Structure 1
Amino acid sequence: MGLEIFKKKWENFKQSKIQPLYSIKKELIKRSKDRAKRRLDITDLSPKDRTLIHHIQEQTREKNRNNITRTMAYYHYYCRHPEVHWAFLGHMVSRNGGWNMTDLKGDLLSRLLTEKEQQNYFNFLERGNWLIFQDVFPQFLLYEESVKRQTKLFYLLPFFHVSVFMETIWNHFWDSRDCYLLAIALVINEQSYLEQRVIQNPFYQETVLQTIEFKLQDLLSLNQIIFPCEQKDEKSFEKAPLLIGQTLHHFASLHERILLGKRLYALLFHRSEVLQSVSQWAAKHVHTGSRKDYWPHLFNNVNESVPGSAYQQRIEHCKLRPGARRLYSPALVHVWNDMEHEEAEKGDWFKDWRVLYYLVNQNENVDGEITHAYCKTLEKIERAIMAQEKIFPLKS
């Protein structure tokens, strides 16, 4: 069990570092018992609270139309509340989700996957992206309203079906202003929230995870999360952004996904110069879903390929080979329609207080170098396409 590792580290930490987590544990257990006994009835609330709930639901629905709207909603919220670090982390990870979605219709993966596989995988990505937003954005808006009113409103979180874990954490954050703890708690919450609803969902197990799992890991770059960094040369001319990021090796593991979230947080927020360079890039580039957003020297949102022609290798050492056309990476709105979602499954994921072990700050130094690995992935996909075209054509 991955949690056992953190249990040992918990026990080895000095009392001064983990004391806040003991108080959270006590409060979390108490709130869990209270919520189990509580009867939720919106008619028991004041008219002002009922109006607020309706307003937050409408705002969340409006911003949750597609990957573009939700990704930019995270960014604009972070600009208003930079103390909520997860909003920027979520923005950057959601950008990656959009790039993965458009990859399915781009120059490379559309040659390897059938139309049905493309649709199934898009549904999988979109459902996860949608579920996270509809869970976390009401939390953000309720915190924002709490700030405006200068009073805690987190007693309303159960009416949005938010876990008792986050109700406890938001109340703690209001008093402590511990930005790290809130961010990692949100990482734990969102990944745990997805576990039964998406990762362990029999439908997605059958249509995605079990049928094309090898493609997810080796071909789709689902395991590589990249953050572009704004950079300039010595003459202050803009250069193609440097890429930093992390690789996930076991996507189906909740433990590994939480650890990835912690590493990505450390990569963004432990060094001010990194946060500044990624923030500067994000401010200058509205999210479209096209990888042209960060590397226009390799990608274009206009298809430059000759229809029906055999694929020829185009990329070598992160550059186009002489005479090669850029890779087609479309804007999301041009290749995927907005999706109608079924209502999110009810139920609180929180069962074991030991998830608090993940909140221990280990102050790890994360190496974010990923450019070489990412470019090697692109080259590997190209070789797979050429091999497939020689051996057997893709059948839809």
Structure 2
Amino acid sequence: MTITTMPSLDRQELVAQIRQQTAEANRNNVTRTRAYLDFYRQHQEVHWALLAHLVSRNGGWNMTDLKGEWIPAIMDEAEIEPFFWMLERSNWLIFYDAYPQLLLYAEMKRRGEDLTSLLAPLGVSVFMQPYWQDFLTSGDSSRLTRALIVNEQQYIEQRVVHKPFTMKRIFSTYAFFTQSLFSLNQILFPYKAHPTDKRLSIAGVNVHHFSDLTQRITIGKALYQLLFADRERLEKMSAFCTRIPHTGSRADYWPHLFTPHRRSGQADDGYKLRLDGENLIAGQPKLYSPFLQAAWADVGHDPADGTDWFRFRDEKWHQEVEKPAQLPAIDAASYMRALHWMEYGVKLVTTFT
């Protein structure tokens, strides 16, 4: 691409337009998740957009879990609200930082010009500029993806993860320990393994030590490897994303176990086990997993501060970009075991409280 000097007014208008489009799409988890996929379908060379779409789907499922079948049975509203804040704020901040980069790339691609000088006015870390410049000439999707993973996890590190509120009200709580103990912290990529399958298969990874920055980056790179390593499976995962709109309900991928509709007339005589292997016990109702917009109202956000996380120019983060990562993958059987453990835990807690 050619390097050009844009008129000052044109630069300001483009930055303002990108900020407006970002604000409109950043309304809630559903709108963000859809925006990532819409972008990827037009620019499939930007692998990060599909990864972000799938991780954002998981973020939505985690948000609705907080109002679903199990979590309200073991946590009260005062405990649930901080978990939602962490998930929503992180989801919002990553989109706030990353989506303008995607929109600017789309404009560079349309014009055939290098406009990476506009990353700074958009509030993007100086860390990202050389990676976008390299991508314009090399088309190295993997390197750009790893750079975005490092950048976005750094972006939420001080703004969310290591805030005193988060450390005290979330990571040190019994509820967070419980979710980790039962291995319910998982990121799942659904797909139809064979055209005749009635149920979707699952691939993913367990998420442990979320408060650790390097571990989150490793998880992101491992998920990227999992998503793009197998071309045939990638196409099946992408087909799921296109075919099944994201609602926030886990019924999106496993409607044989989950429903977005709350049943009426629930008995008050304690929780009854529902799961039998990979199915429901005969006669038992499905697990409640609401639509996101039924579970949570849209919330306003304070603007992100303008501090650049890379202000100390620590070169180890450039070295981190160059390193791929892998973690043990989980499948549907692993996920099913986690659901059973969680259900047993809910049964135990509700029986003795």
Q: Is the Cα contact below 8 Å between 2:22 and 2:100 reproduced in 1?
A: yes
Q: TM-score, normalised by structure 1?
A: 0.84
Q: Is the Cα contact below 8 Å between 1:65 and 1:338 reproduced in 2?
A: yes
Structure 2 Cα separation of the partners of residues 144 and 60 of structure 1:
13
| Cα offset, 1:186, TM superposition | 0.5
Q: Is 1:375 matched with 2:336?
A: yes
Matched AA of 2:290: P
Q: Is the Cα contact below 8 Å between 1:305 and 1:325 reproduced in 2?
A: no
Aligned residue for 2:214, secondary structure, equals helix
Q: Is the Cα contact below 8 Å between 2:83 and 2:170 reproduced in 1?
A: yes
| Cα offset, 1:219, TM superposition | 4.8
Indicate the residue corresponding to 2:307 in structure 1.
Answer: 347
Q: Deviations over 1:113-150 (max 9, x none)?
A: 11111111111100000000000000001111111111
Matched ranges for 1:1-396 at <5 A: 46-211=8-173, 212-219=175-182, 221=184, 223-232=185-194, 236-304=195-263, 306-309=265-268, 310-350=270-310, 351=312, 352-362=314-324, 368-392=329-353
Q: Is the Cα contact below 8 Å between 1:102 and 1:331 reproduced in 2?
A: yes
| Cα offset, 1:230, TM superposition | 1.7
Matched AA of 1:368: A
Aligned residue for 1:158, secondary structure, equals coil
Structure 1 Cα separation of the partners of residues 36 and 246 of structure 2:
11
Q: Deviations over 1:30-78 (max 9, x none)?
A: xxxxxxxxxxxxxx96111111011001000000000000000000000
Aligned residue for 2:113, secondary structure, equals coil
Matched AA of 2:30: I
| Cα offset, 1:324, TM superposition | 1.3
Structure 2 Cα separation of the partners of residues 163 and 110 of structure 1:
39
In angstroms, what is the RMSD of aligned CA positions?
1.7
| Cα offset, 1:323, TM superposition | 1.3
Structure 1 Cα separation of the partners of residues 346 and 330 of structure 2:
27
Structure 2 Cα separation of the partners of residues 271 and 365 of structure 1:
14
Aligned residue for 1:228, secondary structure, equals strand
1:117/1:359 CA distance change after superposition, 3 Å: same
1:367/1:305 CA distance change after superposition, 3 Å: farther
Q: Is the Cα contact below 8 Å between 2:183 and 2:206 reproduced in 1?
A: no
Q: Is the Cα contact below 8 Å between 1:305 and 1:328 reproduced in 2?
A: no
Aligned residue for 1:159, secondary structure, equals coil
Q: TM-score, normalised by structure 2?
A: 0.93
Unaligned runs of 5+ in 1: 1-43
Identity of aligned residues (%): 41
Matched AA of 1:213: F
| Cα offset, 1:360, TM superposition | 2.6
Structure 1 window deviating more from structure 2 (353-362 vs 310-319): it is: 353-362
Q: Deviations over 1:172-194 (max 9, x none)?
A: 11111100000010000001111
Structure 1 Cα separation of the partners of residues 301 and 227 of structure 2:
32
Structure 1 window deviating more from structure 2 (256-265 vs 380-389): it is: 380-389
Matched AA of 1:321: I
| Cα offset, 1:238, TM superposition | 4.1
Matched AA of 1:278: M
| Cα offset, 1:218, TM superposition | 2.7
1:160/1:308 CA distance change after superposition, 3 Å: farther
